Amino acid sequence: MATVGEVFRRSLPETIDQVRDDSSSSSELHVLAVDDSLVDRKVIERLLKISSCKVTAVESGTRALQYLGLDGERASVGFNESSVLREIPVVVMSSENILTRIDRCLEEGAEDFLLKPVKLDDVKRLRDFIMKGDGKDGGETRIHKRKRQDDYASLSSPSPFPACDPSSPLMPSSSPSARSSKRAKLRNKD
Amino acid sequence: MEVGQMQRRLIEYTKSLFMEGILDDQFLQLQQLQDESNPDFVVEVVSLFFQDAERLLNDITSALDQQSVDFPKVDAHVHQLKGSSASVGAQRVKNGCIAFRNFCEEQNVDGSLRCLQQIKQEYYHVKNKLEALFRLEQQIVAAGGSVPMMELSF
């Protein structure tokens, strides 16, 4: 029973080096969509393409890391250690409306949480939000920037959250008011 | 039958599927994603759903047939089926899966078997209905007409 996610990326690089070198931001979002269901991959791919995003759809977290060039043994840095990859907004999708899990996702730095089945309006709203958030104000609108491992030297690390890269434990950040507004928004989905 | 008649028949047929709760809003969402650049999108997604569902129903059947039932495994399969049926708008199948998961939690074999039967029925029912719907669409296209899109309000 996998929890799935999407990773949004602004540029269209093929390797991590290209991500670092790419200083210009293209207007098209490139989304790395992760879902273990073939049906859902096909749907999310179409939803994103119709919303003018470039899409790469993969079937698992492992494949996602491989695509990003972070495969296990070969990776010299984890998803959150890389200063470039840390900037990539992460959106979590799940068919289960479990508030504690949603809260955890948001606390650990997810940009948003989408309840499946995902609708066209959800994707459009999200894309607009992400497009507005990045750029000149460099993620100021992003409420929970994911932190680096060394930022937490003095804190104890919790067990890795299953939806994210298990090799880089994520830490909760504060801002409960932002979380509660997101929570309220998600509750209304019922 | 001329194209206009066929189109009206398709709309009435589709409406009936919604009225009976066989399909829900998500099916309309899929139709919204279909256009001239992706004219077979709905058929393609639904075909993937059929393949997925049949595989999962087989897996669930085998798993329940074991001496000692691995309920977490059954639950995982049902969760997947719930997900894909929800994604295509197969409401009754999805609801069946929701009920099924309760029996899994209780580790109730008899309840699970009854639920599985129910879900199979609902699955074959929606499969027949959707295949009929796609045939109607094909007839319209073959006669030179275009497939009417459902209104979202009703």
Does ipTM exceed 0.85? yes
Q: What own/partner pairs with CB < 8 Å and gap ≥ 24 does A121-125 have?
A: A123/A47, A123/A48, A123/A50, A123/A51, A124/A51
pLDDT at A18 over 50: no
pLDDT at A142 over 60: no
The predicted pLDDT at position B140 comes to 95
The mean pLDDT of chain A is 68
Specify the residue for token string 């504060």: A174
pLDDT at A85 over 70: yes
Taking an 8 Å cut-off on Cβ atoms, the answer to whether A37 and B84 are in contact is yes
pLDDT bucket at A170, cuts 50 / 70 / 90: very low
Q: Please give the backbone phi and psi of residue A90, each rounded to the nearest 5 degrees, phi first.
A: -115, 130
In the chain, the amino acid numbered B55 is: R
pLDDT tens, B113-149? 999 999 999 999 999 999 999 999 999 999 999 998 7
Distance CA B97, CA B82 (A): 5
Say how many CB pairs under 8 Å bridge A and B: 51
pLDDT tens, A32-65? 999 999 999 999 999 999 999 999 999 999 999 8
B83 contacts in A (CB within 8 Å)?
37, 39-40, 95, 116
Within chain B, what is the greatest distance between any pair of CA atoms? 58
The predicted pLDDT at position A7 comes to 58
Distance from CA of B2 to the nearest CA of A (A): 33
If you measure CA to CA, which chain A residue comes closest to B73? A1
The structure's pTM equals: 0.77
